[in-house]
C-alpha cells in the first residue's frame, strides 16, 4: 500500500522522478503526474485502467501559469477564472504544443484548472511543471474524497498519497468550454450553472458524448459495484421486493423500518449532500445488499450536479 502523509517535499521528489502521487483538492483526490511528461502520464491511464479517449485535466498554480499552456484565453474564460480560481472550475481551451497529445486524447484543446487546496497549491508552486490529475480511482468507479479511499483502491499502484483531509466539496469541478464566444458546460460540478451565468450570461450544455472533449461525459460513470437505481423510493422498493436493499435518501424524514439507509443531508443542505455523496456510495459497497435505491436531489444549484452523478451511476 502507499505511504500516506503531508510531506510536500516527498510528493515533489516522486513527481520529479516521473512517478504518480495522489493529491488532495477541494473537489476529490486526484492521481497526479507531470503533465509535460508523456511517460509519466501513461502511468495514470495504466493505474486507472482509463481508456485513452478520455482526456485529463491539467492543474496549475495560477491564471498566469495557465496562459503558458494555452494559445487563447477568451474574455469569458478570463472572467470566470478571475472569479472562481482557485476553485472547482475547469476551462477547456486551445492548447499549446507543449501539452502532450496523451493528456488531451489527441484533441486540440486542454482542460485546465487551479485547485483550491493549500497543500496542492503549495506543491504546484514548487514544481517546474503542471500536473495532469484525474480522480484517483479505478475508471468509472466512485471518486475518492479521503486519502483512505485512494489507498483502498490504488494504494498498490502508487507510492505516496498527499493527505489533505476530507474533500470540502466532494464533487468534481464544473467544466466549461467555448465555441464562437458561446460558453458550453461539458460537466456539472462544484460551481452551479447559475453562478456561471451570473458572471458571463447565457450558457449552453453538452453533458454527454461517446467521444468526450472533457472528463465525465460518458453515460455510465461514478458507479458503485452494486446495482444502482434512481427514482421514487417507494416505487423502486416494489420493483425490488425480496432483495437485500440499500436506500440513499437526500434528506431525513424516512421510515425507521428502512434498514440499510444512508442520508446525504439530515436537513436537506445541498452542499452537505454533495460532500457526502461519494462516501455514501462507497459505504453501500461494503454492505450486505444486492441493490441500491436512490432518490434525486432538488434540481437547483449544485443539486443538478448531484443528480448528474446519480443518473450516470444508474446507467448500465
| C-alpha of 57 from chain center | 10
Report angle CA 103, 4, 158 to the nearest 5 degrees. 40
CA distances, 249 to each of 145, 182, 268, 280 (Å): 20, 36, 10, 10
Residue intervals in the chain for CATH 3.40.50.11030: 227-314
pLDDT in tens, 24-66: 999 999 999 999 999 999 999 999 999 999 999 999 999 999 9
Alpha-carbon Rg of the chain, whole angstroms?
A: 19
pLDDT digits (tens, 9 = 90+) for 125-153: 999 999 999 999 999 999 999 999 999 99
Q: DSSP states of 55-105 as a string?
A: --EEE-SSHHHHTTSBS---HHHHHHHHHH-SSSEEEEEEBPTTS-HHHHT
Interatomic CA distance for residues 180 and 148, integer angstroms: 43
Q: How high is the pLDDT of residue 240?
A: 94
Which residue numbers in the chain have pLDDT < 50? Answer: none
Residue 31 · residue 47 · CB < 8 Å: yes
Asked if 190 and 305 count as a contact pair (C-beta separation under 8 A), the reply is yes
Check: CB of residue 214 under 8 Å from CB of residue 111: yes
Which superfamily does CATH assign the domain made up of 3-205 to?
DHBP synthase (3.90.870.10)
Q: What is the pLDDT of residue 218?
A: 81
pTM to 2 decimal places: 0.94
Q: Answer yes or no: are the C-beta atoms of 266 and 252 closer than 8 Å.
A: yes
* Per-residue model confidence (pLDDT) at position 256: 54
- Beta strands 160-162 and 3-5, pairing class: parallel
> What pLDDT, on a 0 to 100 scale, did the predictor assign at position 314?
93
Spatial contact of 33 and 103, defined as CB atoms under 8 Å apart: no
Q: State the CB neighbour count (10 A cutoff) for residue 111.
A: 28
Residue 257 pLDDT: 62
Cis before residue 115, ω within 30 degrees of 0?
Answer: no
Task: Report pLDDT for 255.
Answer: 56
What are the angstrom distances between the C-alpha of 207 and each of 51, 104, 105, 170, 177? 19, 18, 18, 19, 11
Return the pLDDT at 49.
Answer: 94
CATH of 227-314, one of 3.40.50.11030, 3.50.50.60, 3.40.50.2300, 3.40.50.300: 3.40.50.11030
Question: Do the beta carbons of residue 27 and residue 115 sit within 8 Å?
Answer: yes
**What integer pLDDT is reported at residue 315 of this predicted model?**
84
Q: Are 246 and 262 in contact (CB under 8 A)?
A: yes
CA distance 162 to 22: 6
Residues of the chain with CATH 3.90.870.10: 3-205
**What values do phi and psi take at 249, rounded to 5?**
-110, 150
- How does 244-270 read in b/e, with b if 16+ C-beta sit within 10 Å? ebbbbbbbeeeeeebebbbbbbeebeb
**Largest Cα span, the chain:** 59
* CA atoms of 186 and 174, how far apart (whole Å): 8
Amino acid at each position: 500500500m502507499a505511504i500516506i502523509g503531508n510531506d510536500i517535499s516527498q510528493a515533489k521528489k516522486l513527481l520529479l522522478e516521473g512517478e504518480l502521487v495522489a493529491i488532495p483538492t477541494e473537489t476529490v483526490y486526484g492521481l497526479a503526474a507531470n503533465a509535460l511528461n508523456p511517460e509519466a502520464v501513461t502511468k495514470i491511464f495504466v493505474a486507472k485502467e482509463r481508456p485513452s479517449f478520455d482526456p485529463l485535466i491539467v492543474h496549475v498554480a495560477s491564471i498566469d501559469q495557465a496562459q503558458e499552456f494555452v494559445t487563447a484565453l477568451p474574455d469569458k474564460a478570463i472572467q470566470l477564472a478571475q472569479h472562481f480560481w482557485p476553485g472547482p472550475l475547469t476551462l477547456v481551451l486551445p492548447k499549446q504544443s507543449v501539452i502532450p497529445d496523451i493528456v488531451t486524447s489527441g484533441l486540440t484543446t486542454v482542460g485546465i484548472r487551479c485547485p483550491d487546496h493549500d497543500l496542492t497549491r503549495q506543491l504546484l508552486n514548487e514544481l517546474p511543471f503542471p500536473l495532469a490529475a484525474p480522480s484517483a480511482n479505478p475508471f468509472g468507479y466512485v471518486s475518492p474524497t479521503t486519502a483512505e479511499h485512494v489507498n483502498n483502491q490504488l494504494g498498490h499502484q502508487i507510492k505516496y498519497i498527499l493527505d489533505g483531509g476530507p474533500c470540502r466539496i466532494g464533487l468534481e469541478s464544473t467544466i466549461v468550454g467555448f465555441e464562437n464566444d458561446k460558453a458550453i458546460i461539458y460537466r456539472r460540478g462544484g460551481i452551479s450553472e447559475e453562478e456561471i451565468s451570473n458572471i458571463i450570461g447565457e450558457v449552453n450544455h453538452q453533458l454527454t458524448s461517446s467521444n468526450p472533449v472533457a472528463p465525465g461525459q460518458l453515460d455510465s460513470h461514478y458507479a458503485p459495484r452494486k446495482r444502482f437505481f434512481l427514482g421514487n423510493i417507494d416505487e423502486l422498493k416494489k420493483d425490488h421486493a425480496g432483495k437485500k436493499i440499500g436506500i440513499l435518501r437526500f434528506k431525513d424524514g424516512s421510515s425507521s423500518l428502512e434498514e440499510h439507509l444512508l442520508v446525504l443531508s439530515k436537513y436537506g443542505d445541498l452542499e452537505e449532500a454533495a460532500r457526502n455523496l461519494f462516501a455514501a456510495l462507497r459505504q453501500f459497497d461494503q454492505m450486505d445488499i444486492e441493490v441500491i435505491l436512490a432518490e434525486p436531489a432538488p434540481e437547483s444549484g449544485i443539486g443538478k450536479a448531484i443528480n448528474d452523478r446519480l443518473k450516470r451511476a444508474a446507467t448500465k
